[in-house]
Amino acid sequence: MKMLQAMMLFVATLVMAQANAAETMTDAQTEKLRERIKPVAEVCVQGDDCGGPVVAASTGPRTGDAIYAASCAGCHSIGVAGAPKKGDTAAWDKRLAKGFDKTLANAISGLNAMPAKGLCMDCSDDELTSAIKFMAGRK
């Protein structure tokens, strides 16, 4: 409790010191400060001519390789809790015997210790498909 009070006092002192510093700035200093923060303060909205090409937010679907490395390898590389291992075609053959769609559906909704979407919540069905094909050795 003492520690918390001391910290709050410290923060309050900092804030007051900052406020004092701002008050004692000359007009020239204020102008300089405005100049310095300007690029950050300016917002470029899509459709505006902001002097450069608009960078697309999405770069298209990620590869199965990339999805596997980022989200699935944690369990599927060494077979955590019975997860079929990457490249273990025999294990994957058994999984896929029920049909690819059913296997994909299990990956999407989760199956026992397999979490829904392998915890890749922003993965599209296509990206999960690529990751499964990559792990199962079916490009």
Asked if 107 interacts with ligand HEC (CB under 6 A), we say yes
Name residue, tokens 């303060």: 41
Please say which residue, 34 or 110, places its beta carbon nearer to ligand HEC.
Answer: 110
Asked if 75 interacts with ligand HEC (CB under 6 A), we say yes
Please say which residue, 41 or 97, places its beta carbon nearer to ligand HEC.
Answer: 97
CA distances in angstroms from 65 to 16, 38, 39, 62, 74, listed in the order given: 53, 41, 38, 8, 13
d(CA 106, CA 112): 10
Please say which residue, 61 or 115, places its beta carbon nearer to ligand HEC.
Answer: 115
Q: Which of residues 30-69 bind ligand HEC (CB under 6 A)?
A: 67
| Residue with the CB atom nearest ligand HEC in the bound state | 118
Q: Tally the C-alpha atoms within 13 A of residue 113's C-alpha that lie toward its C-beta.
A: 10
Least Cβ distance, residue 91 to ligand HEC (angstroms): 9
CA distances in angstroms from 80 to 55, 61, 83, listed in the order given: 39, 27, 5
Nearest to 14 by CA among 3, 6, 25: 6
Residues near ligand HEC, by CB under 6 A: 67, 71-72, 74-76, 80-84, 95, 103, 106-107, 111-115, 118-120, 123, 128, 131-132
